[in-house]
Chain A
Amino acid sequence: QKEVEQDPGPLSVPEGAIVSLNCTYSNSAFQYFMWYRQYSRKGPELLMYTYSSGNKEDGRFTAQVDKSSKYISLFIRDSQPSDSATYLCAMGKGGSEKLVFGKGTKLTVNP
Chain B
Amino acid sequence: GAGVSQSPSNKVTEKGKDVELRCDPISGHTALYWYRQRLGQGLEFLIYFQGNSAPDKSGLPSDRFSAERTGESVSTLTIQRTQQEDSAVYLCASSSPPGLPAYEQYFGPGTRLTVT
B-side interface residues, number (CB < 8 Å): 26
Given known A-B contacts A43-B91, A49-B101, A92-B103, A101 and B42 have beta carbons under 8 A apart: yes
Which B residues from 73 to 116 make CB contacts under 8 A with A?
91, 93, 95, 101-110, 112
Q: Which residues of B contact A (CB under 8 A)?
A: 4, 31, 33, 35, 40-43, 45, 48, 50, 56, 91, 93, 95, 101-110, 112
- The reply to whether B43 and A88 form a contact with Cβ atoms under 8 Å apart is yes
Interface contact B103-A34, CB-CB below 8 Å: yes
**Contact A104-B48, Cβ < 8 Å, known A43-B108, A43-B110:** no
Any B CB within 8 A of the CB of A99: yes
Size range of the chain A interface in the assembly: 20 to 34
Chain B residue at minimal CB-CB distance from A43 = B107
Say which residue of A8, A42, A45, A97 sits within 8 Å of B103 (CB atoms): A97
With A43-B93, A44-B107, A103-B42 known, 10 other A-B pairs at CB within 8 A are A34-B104, A42-B110, A43-B4, A43-B107, A45-B106, A49-B101, A90-B43, A98-B45, A98-B56, A99-B103
A110-B88 Cα distance, complex, nearest whole Å:
28
CB distance from A72 to the nearest CB of B (A): 14
- In the complex, are the beta carbons of B31 and A97 less than 8 A apart? yes
Residues of B within 8 A of A42 (CB): 109-110
| A31 and chain B: residue at smallest CB distance | B103
B42 contacts A6, CB within 8 Å?
yes
Q: Which residues of A contact B105 (CB under 8 A)?
A: 46, 99
Q: Which residues A38-85 have CB closer than 8 A to chain B?
A: 41-46, 49
Known contacts A102-B42, A103-B41, A104-B42; A49 and B104 CB within 8 A of each other:
yes
Residue of B nearest to A44 (CB): B107
Q: B4 to chain A: closest CB distance in Å?
A: 7
A8 touches B40 (CB 8 A): yes
A61 to chain B, nearest CB (A): 16
Question: Closest CB-CB distance, A85 to chain B, in whole Å?
Answer: 13
